[in-house]
Amino acid sequence: MLKAITQSYASTKDKNPILAEVSFYGILIDIIELYYSKNLKVVLFKCKWVNNNKGLIEKDDYGFTLVNFNHLLYTRHHLSDEPFIFSSQAQQVFYVDHPMEKEWRMVVKLKPRGFYDLGDDTPTIEHKEGHMELWPEQQLDDTTFETEEDIEWVREGVPGLEIDPETLESNEAYDEDDNIS
Q: Given this model, what pLDDT does residue 109 score?
A: 86
Residue 71's closest CA among 49, 96, 46, 98?
49
Closest CA to 66 of 103, 91, 92: 103
- Span 106-134, average pLDDT: 64
pLDDT of residue 105: 92
Between 24-28, 30-34, 169-173, the lowest mean confidence (pLDDT) is in 169-173
Mean pLDDT of the chain: 76
Residue 91 has pLDDT above 80, yes or no: yes
Top-confidence range, 12-21, 22-31, 66-75, 147-156: 22-31
Query: pTM of the entire structure?
Result: 0.54
CA atoms within 13 A on the CB side of 68: 14
